[in-house]
Amino acid sequence: MATAGTAPLLAVDGVTLQYRMRGHLVTATWRVSFQVRRSERLVLLGPSGCGKSTLLKAVGGYLKPVEGSITLDGKPVAGPGPDRVLVFQEFDQLLPWKTVRENVAFGLAAGRGIGRQEAVERAGEAIRKVHLEKFADAYPHTLSGGMKQRVAIARCLAMKPEIILMDEPFAALDALTRQRMQDELLELWDQARFTMIFVTHSIEEALLLGSRIIVLSPHPGQVREVLEVDPLAGPGRLNGADPEIGERIRRALFRDAAEYVI
């Protein structure tokens, strides 16, 4: 996988995103700009409804900006592609009629020019990385929520995208499983140094997982603060994120006394 560098992999430049409703427009984000460098763990943090998921959808190519541009490796994002893979909060993102192995291999086989043998090998490797070897032939309904999320992450890793887009992937898990998944994600990152954007509205999760944190304002989302945590920090080092950064995040989030639930 790519090594850490300074040239931005992704550039989001002055992006305004809107939903056209019957009779009116909903502006989800307003002139948002940020860049993501290779191997960064960028966290988008902000209150409910500030447009975090909408931004991820736009980076994924599922929503076109009404203003501004999104480029990946210098090329405009014109639609969805295998170079950007999304992992969602929902447990139903797996195909229920396929086994764990088939679910992970499926994304590879679907129109990517990867042969069946290579797809199976890559799936096996990704399944090992998320410690699910024993469940490779199980069906999703037999797995816990945390295990299903591991499968979704394995599917994503197997595709080796340029950037992984995670939309609150652990929000529906119990506290202990969530903590374990966060640690495992950091371990995976330490092995592969992939680039990811991670959406959350938890300050603690942002501090734990982010090498850089972007705080968005309430609806419509605008960039309020950009905080460098430590671009090269690995697992173990992260728990000790500077308390000053947490304080700056809280100040940015509560600046205009917006309703905010941690």
Ligand X SMILES: Nc1ncnc2c1ncn2[C@@H]1O[C@H](COP(=O)(O)OP(=O)(O)OP(=O)(O)O)[C@@H](O)[C@H]1O
Could you list the residues that contact ligand X (CB under 6 A)?
19, 21, 26, 28, 46, 48-54, 201, 219
Distances in Å between the Cα of 30 and the Cα atoms of 22, 135, 164, 183, 227 are 20, 44, 23, 33, 20
Please give the single-letter amino acid code of residue 49. G
What is the Cα–Cα distance from 38 to 36, expressed in whole angstroms? 7
In whole angstroms, the minimum distance from the beta carbon of 51 to ligand X comes to 4
Give the residue with the Cβ less far from ligand X, 37 or 52.
52
In whole angstroms, the minimum distance from the beta carbon of 46 to ligand X comes to 6
What is the Cα–Cα distance from 55 to 72, expressed in whole angstroms? 14
Residue 212, both tokens = 């850089």
Give the residue with the Cβ less far from ligand X, 52 or 148.
52
Give the residue with the Cβ less far from ligand X, 49 or 82.
49
In whole angstroms, the minimum distance from the beta carbon of 53 to ligand X comes to 3
Give the residue with the Cβ less far from ligand X, 11 or 63.
63
In whole angstroms, the minimum distance from the beta carbon of 16 to ligand X comes to 12
Give the residue with the Cβ less far from ligand X, 107 or 169.
169
Residue 165, both tokens = 């887009």
What is residue 94's DSSP assignment?
A: S
249: phi then psi, degrees, rounded to nearest 5? -65, -45
In whole angstroms, the minimum distance from the beta carbon of 48 to ligand X comes to 3
